[in-house]
Amino acid sequence: MSSHKSILVTGANGFVGRRLVESLSADPTTTVYAASRRPLDAVLRNVTHVQLGDLASDELAERLFGIDVVVHLAARVHVMNETYADALAKFRHANVAATALLAESAAAAGVRRFVFVSSVKVNGEETPRDGAFRSTDAPCPHDPYGVSKLEAERELQRITGAFGMELAIVRPVLVYGPGVGANFARMMRWLCRGVPLPFGSIDNLRSLIALDNLCDLLVTCAWHPAADGQTFLASDQEDISTPDLLRRLGIALGRPTRLFNIPQDALRWAFRWGGQAEAGRRLCSSLRVDANPARQILSWRPPVSLDAALLRTAQHFLGVGQKAAPRRGDNRC
């Protein structure tokens, strides 16, 4: 392969996609094609925007000729309060059928490698505190989003096997970083307002991954020869409890963390009563992953520590996060 490389990123205006495109654009030997429905938020050197209306469109198929690697981030993301009666059909259309069409077009155009951003939800929703999901575990998705991601993985394995295109799959845990929304932003708002929080008795461990760390791993999977045929569970490789996360996030924000104790069963009940059962589960349960294969196979190490990533997240939040509601993004696992 020549020293110059070309890569196409779908979902380029999403939470992860924006940062990934920005990171890729810093390499003068790489031409980046950023595919998204809306124009890019910023003009970047070495980046060409591809207006994405349909993953199976002729325009996108034409853009795939001459591309070395596709990183596929575009998806219908996990929804906390689903409103569609047949949510699985919506997820299958966006996350399975569209992914398969994109992969077939990529293979026909001679794309060498397809990097698919899946989800830890393929493995399941929670682990024992002293346990961890592994990529070799039998899949156990619990919701339509997780089912659709598993089905997309299997379709990609079928297509790439038939066409001889390389495939790397990355299943991230919850992604946090500048611009993060959902529960993570809610926690920062609580801390900034000095709200006493009833989470002191939670005894869990959760794996997280910083936005910069995930993007670094995706770039590694795009080019590393040993990534072909692998599925990686992606994390910061430092697990943390909810109370410890709040304390360290409070330090990053320069705010005191006021925790008091309520039994976990009572907390879960209170969240269910308030119609926030899933948010309560995420705060109270453990979800750990074994991210060692990325270290062993790719010699990959997270370039940003958890505390440094929390500081970047907090600084962004203090600068702009409280002035406008965050956009929906793909930060949820």
List, for residues 231-266, the tens digit of each pLDDT value.
999 999 999 999 999 999 999 999 999 999 988 888
Q: Report percent pLDDT > 70 for the chain.
A: 90
Choose, from 33, 84, 145, 176, the residue flagged as catalytic: 145
DSSP letter assigned to residue 146: H
List, for residues 164-180, the tens digit of each pLDDT value.
999 999 999 999 999 99
Q: How confident is the model at residue 81 (pLDDT cuts 50, 70, 90)?
A: low
Q: pTM of this prediction?
A: 0.89
In a domain, 247, yes or no: no
- Domain encompassing residue 143: 5-179+208-239+288-303
Alpha carbons 6 and 14: distance in angstroms, whole number: 20
Give me the pLDDT at residue 55, please.
61
Q: How confident is the model at residue 80 (pLDDT cuts 50, 70, 90)?
A: low
CATH number at residue 47: 3.40.50.720
> Residue ranges of the alpha helices (H) in 169-210?
182-192
- Cα dist. 197→184, 242, 243 in Å? 14, 11, 9
In a domain, 116, yes or no: yes
Q: How confident is the model at residue 331 (pLDDT cuts 50, 70, 90)?
A: very low
Find out whether 169 and 156 touch, Cβ atoms under 8 Å.
yes
Which range among 15-29, 205-219, 295-309 shows the weakest confidence by mean pLDDT? 15-29
Which range among 30-44, 268-282, 317-331 shows the weakest confidence by mean pLDDT? 317-331
In a domain, 313, yes or no: no
**Mean pLDDT for the chain?**
88
> Which two structure tokens, joined as six digits, stand for 240?
């943390």
Give catalytic status of residue 33 as yes or no. no
> Which two structure tokens, joined as six digits, stand for 141?
């998705």
* Position 163, amino acid: F
Give the pairing type, strands 113-117 and 208-210.
unpaired
pLDDT at 300 over 50: yes
Residue keyed to tokens 């708002």:
189
> Which two structure tokens, joined as six digits, stand for 2?
């020549």
Average pLDDT over residues 148-161: 96
- Cα dist. 53→56, 58, 163, 296 in Å? 9, 10, 25, 39
Alpha carbons 249 and 187: distance in angstroms, whole number: 9
In a domain, 93, yes or no: yes
Alpha carbons 29 and 283: distance in angstroms, whole number: 43
Give me the pLDDT at residue 39, please.
77
Report residue 10: phi and psi, to 5°: -90, 160
In a domain, 173, yes or no: yes
Alpha carbons 228 and 10: distance in angstroms, whole number: 19
Give me the pLDDT at residue 324, please.
42
Give me the pLDDT at residue 225, please.
96
pLDDT at 2 over 60: no
Q: How many domains does the chain have?
A: 1
In a domain, 195, yes or no: no
Average pLDDT over residues 12-28: 91
pLDDT at 44 over 80: no
Q: How confident is the model at residue 93 (pLDDT cuts 50, 70, 90)?
A: confident
Q: CB count, 10 Å around CB of 167? A: 21
pLDDT at 321 over 60: no
In a domain, 164, yes or no: yes
Angle at 142 between CA 138 and CA 145, to 5 degrees: 105
Q: How far apart are the first and last CA of the chain?
A: 34
Give me the pLDDT at residue 19, please.
94
Q: CB count, 10 Å around CB of 150? A: 21
CB burial of residue 91 (10 Å; 0-12, 13-18, 19+): buried
Give me the pLDDT at residue 110, please.
93
Give me the pLDDT at residue 251, please.
96
Give me the pLDDT at residue 142, please.
86
In a domain, 9, yes or no: yes
pLDDT at 183 over 90: no
